[in-house]
Amino acid sequence: MAAIEQVILVDEFDRPQGTAEKLEAHRLGLCHRAFSVFLYRNNHTIELLIQQRAKEKYHSPSLWTNTCCSHPRPEENTLDAAKRRLFEELGVKLPLHSIGKFHYIAHFDNGLTENEVDHVVIGELIDEKIEPNPDEVQDIHWISIADLQNELALHPEKFTPWLGGVLDRVAKYFQKKGF
């Protein structure tokens, strides 16, 4: 029997407020900590790895999103949690670093609500092999920041509601770096 997954409840400033069972936090719309990872490669332009979520996901099935996302467990460092999920979803191990966070709320047709302080995490993929877990990931695709911004503007229904906030922070990060 699998352990019941817990999330860290936080206020809008990311200060811990306790814990809750993951699905219950989403049912009640409780604010909790999350992370969104973007892997990138530099082929004379920055390209981001996006994934199409598996059809069986409890919300946002088959939508395109950042490389991977999830929640740290109680007592788990956010970067360690991001590394754990990146390996579980895509079989990749590499250094990651945080580039900021933001708060968002999204309501879903199935009655669940994402109310998250989302930590944006990035890592550069150089030689690592990607092995998507079919229980988590339906497809993957490399795309430039500009093309992803354009696709998100033209077809927002194909993407998760948090992707825009994550992409904004990643685009600003690379803009500051001169890309």
Which of the following is catalytic: 116, 124, 128, 131? Answer: 116
Q: CA-CA distance, 159 to 153, in Å (whole number)?
A: 10
Q: CA-CA distance, 79 to 77, in Å (whole number)?
A: 6
Yes or no: say if 25 and 112 are a contact pair by the CB < 8 Å rule: no
What the block records as the tokens of 139 is 């497809």
Q: CA-CA distance, 26 to 39, in Å (whole number)?
A: 26
Q: What angle do CA 73, 116, 54 make, to 5 degrees?
A: 75
Which of the following is catalytic: 47, 69, 89, 114? Answer: 69
Q: CA-CA distance, 47 to 60, in Å (whole number)?
A: 23
Q: Does the active-site annotation cover 68?
A: no
Q: CA-CA distance, 83 to 105, in Å (whole number)?
A: 24
Q: CA-CA distance, 9 to 83, in Å (whole number)?
A: 21
Q: Does the active-site annotation cover 89?
A: no
Q: What length does the chain have?
A: 179
Q: Which residues are catalytic?
A: 69, 116
